[in-house]
Amino acid sequence: MIDVNEKNALITGSSRGIGQQVAKGLAKLGCNIIVHGRTQENCKTTLDLLSHYNIKVYCIYGELSNEDQIYDLINQVKKLNVRVDILYNNAAVMTPYNVDIWNHSWEDWMLSMKVNVFAMYKLCAAFIPAMIENGFGRVVNLVSGIKDQPELMPYGASKWAVLKLTDDIAVKLKDTSVRINTLDPGWLKTDLGGEYAEHSVEAVLPGALAPALVENDGANGERFSAIDYPYKL
């Protein structure tokens, strides 16, 4: 496994939940963290948690459903004047459970695709070319093990699109030192997972860190499972 001490990680949706856990896990390994939330105020809790580690911590903010705000978010990162070595595309939305599976609204479909797929693509496009040039990069796209749930079809379909997006990008990274993989965090007690989920959000560690720690010639375009990860870090 690689050493991420003094590397810089951008984690979308790290103001809470899985993203916050990933931020804490990487911080323990000495990785600097760029925290992202919808608003600057939303980042405060994670910033406070990370203040206990001897690392550099930054905050960026913006709605991933809005193209202009995505570009602004990217510009916020560039103004930090730090290179992004690790990108966790963690942020996602799940539209409401709809018993009438033939009545998912256009708005629900578009919101799911904008946040869960389009924003992810834009962030990959913004930071992967520089990773290739720098000779190092790790990109982790979060997916879902959801199945047999047509009541949540926009969410499920968007997460399958993330698998295809990752596969396609991985082909272009084959001969570089940049690795892109997907991560299934498992069914966790988060705002998306709900209170009846099988595992606490803390159970996402250490497995959620594994795809960020692969070697330069390691896994690429593969799917990691946080809950089933068998090793300690």
What is the C-alpha separation between 50 and 72, in angstroms, rounded? 24
Is 233 a member of any domain?
Answer: no
Is 50 a member of any domain?
Answer: yes
CATH code: domain of residue 175: 3.40.50.720
Is 118 a member of any domain?
Answer: yes
What tens digit of pLDDT does each residue of 161-214 get? 999 999 999 999 999 999 999 999 987 767 766 776 667 888 898 999 999 999
How many C-beta atoms lie closer than 10 Å to residue 130's C-beta?
14
CA geometry: angle 223, 11, 50, nearest 5 deg? 125
What tens digit of pLDDT does each residue of 64-79 get? 999 999 999 999 999 9
Domain that holds residue 135: 8-225
What is the C-alpha separation between 173 and 132, in angstroms, rounded? 8
Q: How many residues are present in the chain?
A: 233
Q: Omega of the bond prior to 206 within 30 degrees of 0, cis? A: yes
Please give the sequence-ordered ranges of beta strands (E in DSSP) within the chain, or none if there are none. 8-11, 32-37, 57-61, 86-89, 137-142, 178-184, 223-225
Q: pLDDT band at residue 218, thresholds of 50, 70 and 90?
A: very high
Q: Is the pLDDT of residue 102 over 70?
A: yes
> Which structure tokens are listed for 127?
């930071």
pLDDT of residue 220: 98
What tens digit of pLDDT does each residue of 14-55 get? 999 999 999 999 999 999 999 999 999 999 999 999 999 999
The pTM of the full predicted model, rounded to 2 decimals, is 0.94
What does DSSP assign to residue 178? E
CB distance 182 to 167 below 8 Å? no
Is 213 a member of any domain?
Answer: yes
Please, is 224 exposed, middle or buried when counting C-beta atoms within 10 Å of its C-beta (0-12, 13-18, 19+)?
A: buried
Q: pLDDT band at residue 148, thresholds of 50, 70 and 90?
A: very high
Is 173 a member of any domain?
Answer: yes
Is 45 a member of any domain?
Answer: yes
Catalytic residue IDs: 155
What's the number of domains the chain is made of? 1
